[in-house]
Every structure is written in structure tokens, then in C-alpha cells.
Amino acid sequence: MQNLPCRRIQCDEVWSFVYAKAKNVPDEHRGEFGYGDVWTWTALDADTKLVPSWLVGERNVEDATAFISDLASRLANRVQLTTDGHRPYLQAVENAFGSEIDYAMLVKLYGTDPQPEKRYSPAKITGTRTQTVMGDPDPAHVSTSYVERQNLTMRMGMRRFTRLTNAFSKKVENLAAAVALHYMHYNFMHYNFARPHKTLSNPYPTTPAMAAGLTDHVWTLEEIVGLLDVPNQETKADRD
């Protein structure tokens, strides 16, 4: 996906774990990527609901930079970007876009959790604060609502993203493959090529990829499988 005509982008990060919860990771793998906490960075076009970029990694400056740089490489126009208040975005956005962006943060304010050790979801949000970082973002479109709803769709549609689950990914490569398949063809609602999005399907079924001008039809499973690089398999007859 290149030269995308996006205008308004929202970004967020989704937590999951691989192999074991962080507190249960064996000592020999403690601190090693692919064991314990893993974050999926996601970007979403607020108009077409297209997901142009995602990255499975850690929640640090290095992966923020890789994620935002990949996103920037796919865009054709100056965009308005909204992220949450995660600080690594500041350096990543400046490195990738320079001053050619209208960028704002939507910072969430959380209440005090009286029993944090028993909580499996974030603390209650008591309010938000908007912070203009660069350019001239339109306050009416400073929002992360669409990408957060998309993240909920991930949790609902992929069992490995459920907070309390025994279906977690055993290898980080498996998680990355599942995310890629999710965004190419999701068997519950959408993303990106094979399932029409309900907010776009008027007067005819439209996927996010169609809305963004990347394709003119709803893709079939056969077309998606056809993208795979399948190595030539030697048969017994060939060996003989």
C-alpha cells in the first residue's frame, strides 16, 4: 500500500502477551523480546477505515520510530495525526514527518485504582486533554475513537488478544502472522480487502481498500492466498 490518499490518521497500541505473562517468564528469557508483554502498534484512516500500517513489537522509541516511519512512507499527502500521550510518538513523528504534518495528542487522564493487583483492564478514564504538537490540527478531528474501536475489534476477533486466555501466542512470529491475516481478511467485520465495512457500504458493499482506491472489488480468499510466496516442493518423482 503506497501513495495512499489519507487525510486523517489515528494511531494506538494494543497490549498482548506471548509465551507467558511477564511475571511468569522464566529467568533465562526475562527481558527477551517475544516472551511476556508484546505490543501491536496500529494506524487507521478515520475516513476510509483502512489500516495502512501496523507493527508487532515493544512499546519503546525504537519500535515507535519504525512504525511511524513505515506509516509516513505509505502516505501521499500531508495528514492530520492523532495519537495518545505515549511519549515515544514525539520523537518518532518528528523523525518521520519533520514539520510536514498536523499532529495532536489526546492524553487520557486516569483515576486512582484502589486494587491495581486485581485489575485486568486499564484504570477508569476520568477525562482527556488535547495537546497540539505540530502544525495546525483541526480540533474537531483530534480523536482516537476509531482506532480504539478497531483495537476492540481485534480483541473480539482474535482469541490470542483476550486479556484472560489460554489461547495466547506461543511464538511472537505466530502473533505477527495472525495480525497480518486479520488486516488482510477478518472473518467477523472487516479489514482491509475482503470484508465490506458497514459504514462504507452504501450504495454497494465497500471494503476499506476500495474506499482508499486500492482496488475496485471485494477480494476473495483465493486472491489473498495467491499473494503467498509458495516454494517449489520436490516430489518423489522429481527425486527419482
Domain ranges of the chain: 8-190
* Tens-place pLDDT, residues 176-208: 888 887 776 553 334 566 666 666 666 667 777
HSE (side-chain half, CA atoms, 13 Å) at 238: 4
Q: Looking at the structure, give the CATH architecture of the domain made up of residues 8-190.
A: 2-Layer Sandwich (3.30)
Burial of residue 95 (number of CB atoms within 10 Å: 0-12, 13-18, 19+): middle
Is residue 8 helix, strand or coil?
Answer: strand
Statement: residue 175 has pLDDT above 70: yes
Local structure of residue 231 (DSSP, 8 states): P
**Core vs surface per residue 17-42: b (16+ CB within 10 A) or e:** bbbeeeeebeeeeeeeebbbebbbbb
Q: What is the pLDDT of residue 196?
A: 64
Nearest to 54 by CA among 85, 16, 107: 16
Contact 55, 32 (CB under 8 A): no
Mean pLDDT confidence for 105-133:
72
Residue 118 is predicted with a pLDDT of 53
Q: When comparing pLDDT for 188 and 149, which is higher?
A: 149
> Which pLDDT score, from 0 to 100, does residue 164 have?
73
Record the cell numbers describing residue 79, joined without a space.
Answer: 495528514
pLDDT at 225 over 80: no
pLDDT digits (tens, 9 = 90+) for 42-84: 999 998 888 899 999 999 999 999 999 999 999 999 999 999 9
Q: What pLDDT score was predicted for residue 240?
A: 45
pLDDT for res 201 = 61
3-state helix, strand, coil in the chain (%, to 5): 30, 20, 45
